[in-house]
C-alpha cells in the first residue's frame, strides 16, 4: 500500500468521525425541538396568549400575564445591564492592556460562571429582604446581573473586530479619541453589539432559578414593578410539578413558546453579526 | 368631543379601580396549591379588588418567608414548631383549611391487587428491615396475592416536605423503632432508599422502578394512576384512602382540638378512619400592622371555611368537618 493511499484512508476515517460527532451533537437539539413541539403544539392556541391562568378543573386559560411578565422582566434587566455592559465593553476594547482592564475582564468571566441560583439568592438578599417584598424589580436586577458579563465580553470582542483602518482614518482626519470611538467605531460595531445584547437576552429569558425568590410569581394580571410578577419559566415550573394533565399541557405550551423565543433571538443574532463579518473581509 | 370626555372618564375610572386593588402575597405548601388557586380565583370573582396571590414553594419555604416578612401569609402541611413561632417574633394563627391523605404507592410487576399494609410493616420497609416483596410480614396481610421474590426499592422525598412530616409522624406512632432511628420532621435522615423531589418526583420514581414503594399525597396517586395500598388503622381495619375516610380522621380529632389547631390526626382512633391523614394549615398573622390586608384575609378565610369547602372533593381534598369549622370561625375573631 502506497503512502498516498494510506493517508487518504486515514483522512477519510477522520472526516467520517468528525461528521459523526457533529451529527451526534445536533441530535439532542433536534430531539428537544421535536419533543417540545409535539407536546406543546396541542395546547398552543389564541387563548394561550390572551387569557389568564385558570384554576384546576376549568378547561382553557392561558399565560397572558406570564408572557407580559417575562417581557417586563427582560426589559428591566436590559435597562440595567445594557448601558453598564456596553460602556464597560468599550473601555475594555479601548484600553485592553491596563491592569484595571484585566481585573474587569477577569471579574466579568467569574461573574459569567456564577450559578444563576446564586445570583437569585444575592438579589433576594439585597433587594427583596430590605423592603420585605418580592418584586418585578428584584427579578429584573437578578436577570440583569446575569446579562451583564455577557454584554461586557461580547461588546469588547466585537469592537475589536472593527478594522483598524477605520480608527486610523478617523484619527488621521483629526478626530479626538472619544469622537473616533463614538462616531466611527461603535456605529461600525453596532450590529455586533446588538448581537451581544440579543445573545444575553436569550441566555436570561430561559432562567427560572434567579426568579423563584425575586420576582416570585403572580396568578393575577400585574404590571406593578413593586409587586411579584408572573414569568413564563416560573409558571412552567409550577405547572410541571402539579399532578394535573391540564396544567402539564399548559407547561409544555409554555416551554415551547420559550424555546421558540430563544431560537428566534439566536437566529436574529446570527443574522446581524453576519453584516459585521462581511465588513471585516473586504 | 363628547366621545372624548366619555373616554377620559372611563379611563379615569379604570385607573382609580386599579388603584384600589389590594394585592396580598402568600407562599407555602405545595399540596394544597390546586385548591388554594381555585379558592383565590373564585374569591377574586366575588371581590374583584382582592388579588390574593399564592405560590407553592413548599411548607418549609412558606414558614421561612412568612417569618422573614416577605409574604403576608403562609401555608404548611406540618404545623410550625414552638421554636419556629418564637423565631418569627409575631403571633401566627394556624387555621386548618382542608385535609389530605398520604398513601403508600408501589410498583410490583404483574401484581395488580390492592395490597394491605400494617403500620409496622411500612415502618420496617422504610427502616430497611423488610427487603423483599415476599417477606412473611407482607404475605401475612395479603394471603391471596402472589408476591414475587423481588427486592424492595424505597422511594422517599429528597426535599423538605409536609408529606414526609405526615408519613414519619404516622410511622413513629406505630413503630417505636422508627421514632428512635428516623423521627418526625419535614426532612429526616432516611436509612434506606432513593430520593425524589416533590410528590411528582416520588411518583415518577415509583412509576419507573419495578419493585419500588414510596409515599405521595392521595391526589398524586390518583392523577398518576399508580397503585396504592390500604393501611391498617388504630382499630384494626384496613382502610383505603378517600376524601371520606380522611374526613373521618378529622371528625375524631375535632373532639379534642387544641386551641391553636396544631394537632396531628395520624393513627386517629375510630371506625372507617384512614390513619395517614392530616390537616393542611394556613398561617395567618394575628395582629399585622396592615389592617386593610388583614381584613380581606379574614373575610377570605371565612369564605373558604364555609362556601369554599364545596370545591374540595372534586379536587381530591377532604373537606373539614363542621365542628372544626365552628371552632376556627371563633378563633378567626381574634385576628385584628
Chains A, B: CB pairs < 8 Å:
72
pLDDT score at B2: 52
Cβ separation B34–A216 shorter than 8 A: no
Residues A33 and A52 in one domain: no
Domain that holds residue A27: 3-41
Residues A48 and A123 in one domain: yes
pLDDT score at B73: 95
Beta pairing, strands B194-196 & B153-157: parallel
| Separation CA B132–CA B151 (nearest Å) | 5
Residues A32 and A162 in one domain: no
On chain A, the residues whose CB falls within 8 A of the CB of B27 are 216
Residues in chain A: 282
Average pLDDT, chain B: 88
pLDDT score at B13: 43
Q: Is the pLDDT of residue A67 over 60?
A: yes
pLDDT score at B282: 94
On chain B, the residues whose CB falls within 8 A of the CB of A218 are 53
Portion of chain A with pLDDT greater than 70, in percent: 97
Residues A107 and A22 in one domain: no
Q: CA of B224: which chain A residue's CA is closest?
A: A243
Q: CA of B56: which chain A residue's CA is closest?
A: A238
How many distinct structural domains can be found in chain A?
2
On chain B, the residues whose CB falls within 8 A of the CB of A56 are 34, 37-38, 315
Cβ separation A243–B53 shorter than 8 A: no
Of A37-41, A194-198, B11-15, B243-247, the range with the lowest mean pLDDT is B11-15
| Separation CA A184–CA B112 (nearest Å) | 76
| Separation CA A252–CA A232 (nearest Å) | 11
Q: Is the pLDDT of residue A278 over 50?
A: yes
pLDDT band at A276 (very low <50, low <70, confident <90, very high): low
Residues A211 and A114 in one domain: yes
Of B128-132, B137-141, B314-318, the range with the lowest mean pLDDT is B314-318
Residues A212 and A238 in one domain: yes
Query: Would you say the CATH fold of B101-255 matches that of B21-100+279-332?
Result: yes
Residues A93 and A214 in one domain: yes
On chain A, the residues whose CB falls within 8 A of the CB of B69 are 132
Cβ separation B199–A243 shorter than 8 A: yes
- Name which of A218, A228, A238 is nearest B56 (Cβ-Cβ): A238
pLDDT score at B9: 43
Residues A261 and A225 in one domain: yes
| Separation CA A24–CA A28 (nearest Å) | 8
On chain B, the residues whose CB falls within 8 A of the CB of A241 are 30, 198-200
Cβ–Cβ contact B313 with A under 8 A: no
Cβ–Cβ contact A248 with B under 8 A: no
Q: Is the pLDDT of residue B3 over 50?
A: yes
Q: What kind of architecture, by CATH, is found in domain B101-255?
A: 3-Layer(aba) Sandwich (3.40)
Cβ–Cβ contact A245 with B under 8 A: yes
Q: Is the pLDDT of residue B294 over 50?
A: yes
Q: CA of B25: which chain A residue's CA is closest?
A: A228
Residues A68 and A164 in one domain: yes
For residues B180-206, average pLDDT:
87
Q: Is the pLDDT of residue B7 over 70?
A: no
On chain A, the residues whose CB falls within 8 A of the CB of B314 are 57
pLDDT score at B16: 42
Query: Nearest CA to CA, how far is A53 from chain B (Å)?
Result: 10
> What are the cell numbers at B179?
421514632
Q: CA of B23: which chain A residue's CA is closest?
A: A227
| Separation CA B174–CA A155 (nearest Å) | 65
Cβ–Cβ contact B40 with A under 8 A: yes
> What are the cell numbers at A58?
376549568
Runs of H (alpha helix) within chain B: 2-20, 33-46, 59-68, 82-88, 119-127, 136-141, 162-174, 176-181, 198-208, 218-223, 243-254, 291-305, 322-332
Q: CA of B200: which chain A residue's CA is closest?
A: A241
Q: CA of A241: which chain B residue's CA is closest?
A: B200
Q: For chain B, what are the domain ranges? A: 21-100+279-332, 101-255
Residue A204's CATH number: 1.10.3720.10
Instruction: Give the best residue of A66, A117, A219, A248 to mutate against chain B (max B CB count within 10 A).
Output: A219
> What are the cell numbers at A93?
476594547
On chain B, the residues whose CB falls within 8 A of the CB of A240 are 200
What's the first-to-final CA gap in chain B, in angstroms? 49
Q: B80-137: per-residue pLDDT in tens? A: 888 899 998 899 999 999 999 999 999 999 888 889 999 999 999 999 999 999 999 9
Query: Nearest CA to CA, how far is A149 from chain B (Å)?
Result: 29
Of A35-49, A81-95, A117-131, the range with the lowest mean pLDDT is A35-49
pLDDT score at A243: 72
How much is the pTM? 0.81
Which residues lie closer than 8 Å to B89 by C-beta, 6 or more apart? B67
Cβ separation B200–A220 shorter than 8 A: no
Residues A83 and A186 in one domain: yes
What's the first-to-final CA gap in chain A, in angstroms? 45
pLDDT score at A279: 62
CATH fold label, B21-100+279-332: D-Maltodextrin-Binding Protein; domain 2 (3.40.190)
Cβ–Cβ contact A97 with B under 8 A: no
Residues A73 and A191 in one domain: yes
A14 strand-pairing partners: none
Residues A152 and A28 in one domain: no
pLDDT band at B250 (very low <50, low <70, confident <90, very high): confident
Cβ–Cβ contact A243 with B under 8 A: yes
pLDDT score at B12: 43
What interface predicted TM-score (ipTM) does this complex get? Answer: 0.77
| Separation CA A184–CA B192 (nearest Å) | 67
Q: Is the pLDDT of residue A47 over 90?
A: no
Task: Decide: helix, strand or coil at residue B57.
Answer: coil
Cβ under 8 Å to B: A residues 31-90 = 54-57
Cβ–Cβ contact B227 with A under 8 A: no
Average pLDDT, chain A: 89
- Going by C-alpha positions, the residue among B265, B47, B21, B234 that lies closest to residue B165 is B265
Amino acid at each position: 500500500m502506497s503512502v498516498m493511499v494510506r493517508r487518504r484512508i486515514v483522512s477519510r476515517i477522520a472526516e467520517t468521525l468528525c461528521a459523526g460527532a457533529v451529527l451526534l451533537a445536533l441530535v439532542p437539539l433536534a430531539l428537544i425541538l421535536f419533543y417540545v413541539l409535539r407536546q406543546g403544539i396541542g395546547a398552543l392556541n389564541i387563548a394561550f396568549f390572551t387569557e389568564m391562568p385558570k384554576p384546576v378543573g376549568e378547561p382553557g386559560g392561558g399565560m397572558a400575564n406570564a408572557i407580559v411578565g417575562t417581557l417586563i422582566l427582560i426589559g428591566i434587566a436590559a435597562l440595567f445591564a445594557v448601558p453598564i455592559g456596553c460602556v464597560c465593553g468599550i473601555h475594555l476594547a479601548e484600553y485592553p492592556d491596563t491592569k484595571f482592564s484585566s481585573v474587569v475582564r477577569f471579574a466579568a468571566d467569574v461573574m459569567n460562571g456564577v450559578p444563576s441560583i446564586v445570583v437569585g439568592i444575592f438579589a433576594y438578599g439585597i433587594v427583596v429582604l430590605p423592603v420585605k417584598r418580592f418584586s418585578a424589580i428584584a427579578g429584573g436586577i437578578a436577570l440583569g446581573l446575569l446579562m451583564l458579563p455577557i454584554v461586557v465580553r461580547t461588546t469588547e470582542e466585537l469592537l475589536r473586530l472593527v478594522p483598524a483602518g477605520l480608527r486610523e482614518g478617523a484619527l488621521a482626519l483629526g478626530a479626538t479619541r472619544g469622537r473616533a470611538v463614538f462616531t466611527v467605531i461603535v456605529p461600525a460595531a453596532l450590529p455586533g453589539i446588538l448581537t451581544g445584547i440579543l445573545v444575553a437576552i436569550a441566555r436570561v429569558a430561559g432562567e427560572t432559578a434567579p426568579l423563584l425568590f425575586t420576582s416570585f410569581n403572580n396568578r393575577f394580571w400585574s404590571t406593578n414593578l413593586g409587586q411579584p410578577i408572573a414569568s413564563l419559566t416560573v409558571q412552567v415550573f409550577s405547572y410541571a410539578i402539579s399532578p394535573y394533565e391540564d396544567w402539564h399541557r399548559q407547561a409544555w405550551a409554555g416551554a415551547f413558546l420559550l424555546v421558540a423565543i430563544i431560537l428566534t433571538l439566536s437566529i436574529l443574532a446570527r443574522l446581524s453579526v453576519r453584516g459585521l463579518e462581511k465588513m471585516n473581509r473586504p | 368631543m363628547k366621545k372624548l370626555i366619555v373616554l377620559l372618564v372611563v379611563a379615569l375610572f379604570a385607573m382609580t379601580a386599579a388603584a384600589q386593588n389590594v394585592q396580598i402575597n402568600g407562599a407555602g405548601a405545595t399540596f394544597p396549591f390546586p385548591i388554594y388557586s381555585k379558592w383565590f380565583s373564585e374569591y377574586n370573582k366575588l371581590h374583584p379588588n382582592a388579588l390574593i396571590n399564592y405560590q407553592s414553594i413548599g411548607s418549609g419555604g412558606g414558614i421561612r418567608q412568612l417569618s422573614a416578612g416577605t409574604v403576608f401569609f403562609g401555608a404548611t402541611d406540618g404545623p410550625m414548631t414552638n421554636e419556629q413561632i418564637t423565631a418569627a417574633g409575631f403571633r401566627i394563627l394556624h387555621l386548618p383549611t382542608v385535609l389530605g391523605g398520604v398513601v403508600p404507592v408501589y410498583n410490583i410487576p404483574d401484581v395488580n391487587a390492592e395490597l394491605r399494609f400494617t403500620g409496622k410493616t411500612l415502618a420496617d420497609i422504610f427502616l430497611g428491615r423488610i427487603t423483599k416483596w415476599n417477606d412473611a410480614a407482607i404475605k401475612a396481610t395479603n394471603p391471596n396475592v402472589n408476591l414475587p421474590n423481588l427486592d424492595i426499592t424505597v422511594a422517599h422525598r429528597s426535599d423538605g416536605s409536609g408529606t414526609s412530616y405526615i408519613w414519619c409522624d404516622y410511622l413513629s406512632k406505630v413503630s417505636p423503632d422508627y421514632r428512635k432511628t428516623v423521627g418526625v420532621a419535614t426532612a429526616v435522615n432516611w436509612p434506606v432508599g432513593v430520593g425524589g423531589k416533590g410528590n411528582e418526583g416520588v411518583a415518577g420514581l415509583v412509576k419507573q422502578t419495578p419493585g419500588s414503594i414510596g409515599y405521595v399525597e392521595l391526589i398524586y396517586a390518583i392523577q398518576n394512576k399508580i397503585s396504592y395500598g390500604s393501611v391498617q388503622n388504630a382499630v384494626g381495619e384496613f382502610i383505603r384512602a378517600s376524601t371520606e375516610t380522611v374526613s373521618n380522621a378529622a371528625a375524631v380529632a375535632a373532639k379534642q382540638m387544641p386551641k391553636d389547631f396544631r394537632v396531628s390526626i395520624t393513627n386517629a382512633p375510630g371506625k372507617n378512619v384512614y390513619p395517614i391523614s392530616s390537616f393542611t394549615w394556613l398561617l395567618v398573622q394575628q395582629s399585622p400592622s396592615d389592617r386593610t390586608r388583614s381584613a380581606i384575609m379574614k373575610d377570605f378565610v371565612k369564605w373558604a371555611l364555609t362556601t369554599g369547602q364545596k370545591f374540595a372533593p372534586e379536587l381530591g381534598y377532604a373537606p373539614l368537618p363542621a365542628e372544626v369549622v365552628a371552632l376556627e370561625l371563633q378563633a378567626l375573631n381574634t385576628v385584628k
